[in-house]
Structure 1
Amino acid sequence: MSEQAKVYFADFRCPTWRENLPQKLARLMMTAGFGDIDMEGKYVAIKMHFGEPGNLAYLRPNWAKAVADLVKSHGGRPFLTDCNTLYVGGRKNALDHIESAYVNGFTPYSTGCHILIADGLKGNDEVAVPVEGGEYVKEAKIGRAVMDADVFISLTHFKGHEQAGMGGCLKNIGMGCGSRAGKMEQHNAGKPFVKQKKCIGCRACEKICAHGAPVFGEDGKAAIDTDKCVGCARCLAICPKDAIASRDDEAPAILNKKIAEYTKAVVDGRPCFHVSLVLDISPNCDCHGENDAPIAADVGMFASFDPVALDQACADAVVAQPPLPGSVLFDGGCDCTCGDLLQAAHPDTEWQVCLEHAEKLGLGTRRYELIKI
């Protein structure tokens, strides 16, 4: 039987003036061993989600500042980072992504460090990273700035997720650090399609494609020859009408296994540390331009060197909570009595599969000792 990993926990209580929540997070991280990482003069990536404009459940910038300040106090050079999205929204290219982050409060003045969108302007600045033991992914497509960092820190808003079942540490890293092509590979077989009603026949996709995958009918509208397509997703970035999209049709279990394999590509071979904040537990991803009512009450903050144990501890803490009245768990037809709030919010998902596969890959262990501070 594998040895237990240590997961450190603190609640959100601050009953006196002596310590505020950002200070409590810093104390939690230091107690968990953060100070043992050599950060002197090192580039430190802090991977987080800046929130889609219109969403109010994402982590406040104050949390990012607490982590960035702690990195700087140990001689590191932090930057906040994420990769561009596949879907049409406020974060589909680096300019819109940074603007959305600023609108949501993430500026160098509020967080104490800069933002780098890891996969570049159009989402195609990536590094092919081998996945040792990968069953579905042999080379993960990871945003270059993430891989250029010397130290990697994940700062996760723990929540539900409509496809993965759980938006935890592994999801934040695996899906979040994938370039646009990497995200497409995780969501499906890696081939886009054209929404015919939106296509105007401008042939921008033909000009950007090095493999001749876009083909055109008598009406001048594009289609994708999947035999020629290599899944680079450059056509998604170049289309002026957002007529090219990803097929998000991967089975939930396979999606979660790919997320675990992408996570392994990111964290292997360098110092990593992971923080998850279990609050504003929305049923869906922060990629939504809105957020539904939380499904459970705020729990606390968790930190660990082991991302698998961290996710398991957070999931256990959420599942142990009673469902909040007024949430999706009380909508007609939703079974909030199944004993698993995450599963009840999205019955067709399989969040446990991600942790099982991550453990199999050697990313960590689901067995943990919870140490409260």
Structure 2
Amino acid sequence: MASKVYLIRASRDEGEDVISEKARALFRAGGFSDCFKENDLTAVKVHVGEDGNTTYITAPCIKGLAEELLALNTKPFVTDTTTLYVGRRHNAVDHAILAAEHGFGLEGLGIPWIPPDGLSGSSAEAVEINGEINKEVFIAHSISRCQSILSVAHFTGHVASGLGATLKTIGMGCASKHGKMAQHAALTLEIGDDCTSCGLCREYCPADAITLDEVRAHIDQDKCIGCGECMAMCRSGAVRCNWGQETEVMQKSMAEHAFGALKGKEDRAAFFNFV
């Protein structure tokens, strides 16, 4: 049976406080309070953004949702896993500082920021799912152990996973680094003869997997995490990916990881997508 979907018209021009109240109205209209019980350890899964990046849902927009959870006497915590690529979300310390700078925490939301996958992204639980691609998936420890989840996602495009929203936020965003690597493992990127050796792909590669010589760029397959940033940035169309079956495998694997993250939380999760 398909889930019910509730919609409300909102615009960034209305301001964060208005958006927060509209999200609260959706929470109440949908009866989402039934997903949460008193004393639940409730993960509020978000994306805290990056330096100079505005493509994320800002903390004030979800303050109303946090207040609804507090009113239900749950024990909510705002959270997100570390990334495979190097940056300010690569380890828990830098990630927590970035989250605080962007208002995700006690001061901004009235609930604490807690990294779910440990200091370096390796704290995980193997969840048995017996899926088509994975027999077990590796989910961030605190996501696996919490009793309920409120997911906040933004609708965006991704070169490998397609249109990412809740499915990507839960499937990729709740996986440990082990789980993320498993999802990216099917993709192989190569640089062809059209390369002009401009260096743009190397500049944007988050894994430092690209080197340059006088003729063209080269991808170190042992370092590559399959994120597709080089393909997105290449101006000459020189980066090629084994799309076909491999992309399908990645998307299926991501769905299986989402299934693993929600296992045992049937009817204990609510999902908010901002378009």
TM bracket, shorter-chain basis = 0.7 to 0.9
TM-score scaled by length of structure 1: 0.57
Asked if 1:257 corresponds to 2:255, the answer is no
For 2:208 and 2:19, locate their aligned partners in 1 and report how far apart those are by CA, in whole Å: 47
Does 1 or 2 have the higher relative contact order (CA < 8 Å, sep 6+)? 1
Paired residue type of 1:274: F
For 2:20 and 2:94, locate their aligned partners in 1 and report how far apart those are by CA, in whole Å: 28
Q: Which of 217, 222, 225 lines up with 1:246 in the alignment?
A: 225
TM-superposed CA distance for 1:195, in Å, is 5.2
TM-superposed CA distance for 1:105, in Å, is 2.6
Deviations 1:53-101 (A, max 9, x none): 2211111101232221110011111101111100111110001111121
Closer/same/farther in 2, CA of residues 71 and 189 from structure 1, 3 Å limit: same
For 2:102 and 2:70, locate their aligned partners in 1 and report how far apart those are by CA, in whole Å: 23
- Kept in 2, the 8 Å contact 1:14–1:20? The answer is no
Q: Which of 18, 39, 42 lines up with 1:41 in the alignment?
A: 39
TM-superposed CA distance for 1:4, in Å, is 3.9
Closer/same/farther in 2, CA of residues 172 and 195 from structure 1, 3 Å limit: closer
For 2:143 and 2:102, locate their aligned partners in 1 and report how far apart those are by CA, in whole Å: 22
- Kept in 1, the 8 Å contact 2:186–2:249? The answer is no
For 1:95 and 1:64, locate their aligned partners in 2 and report how far apart those are by CA, in whole Å: 23
TM-score scaled by length of structure 2: 0.76
- Kept in 1, the 8 Å contact 2:23–2:62? The answer is no
2:125 maps to which residue? 127
Q: What's the RMSD between the two structures over aligned residues?
A: 2.8
TM-superposed CA distance for 1:13, in Å, is 6.5
Paired residue type of 1:183: K
- 2:272 is paired with a residue whose SS is strand
Paired residue type of 1:138: K
Q: Which runs of 4+ in 1 moved over 3 A?
A: 13-16, 193-197, 247-250
Asked if 1:266 corresponds to 2:245, the answer is no
1:169 maps to which residue? 166
For 1:62 and 1:196, locate their aligned partners in 2 and report how far apart those are by CA, in whole Å: 38
Pairing of 1:226-245 with structure 2 (within 5 A): 244-245=223-224
TM-superposed CA distance for 1:108, in Å, is 1.4
TM-superposed CA distance for 1:128, in Å, is 0.3
Deviations 1:154-193 (A, max 9, x none): 1111111122111110000000011111100000159xx9
For 1:31 and 1:79, locate their aligned partners in 2 and report how far apart those are by CA, in whole Å: 23
Q: Which of 154, 170, 178 lines up with 1:181 in the alignment?
A: 178
For 1:15 and 1:60, locate their aligned partners in 2 and report how far apart those are by CA, in whole Å: 14
- 1:10 is paired with a residue whose SS is coil
Structure 2: tracts of 5 or more residues without a match? 188-206, 212-219, 228-240
Higher Cα radius of gyration: 1
TM-superposed CA distance for 1:106, in Å, is 1.9
Closer/same/farther in 2, CA of residues 246 and 272 from structure 1, 3 Å limit: same
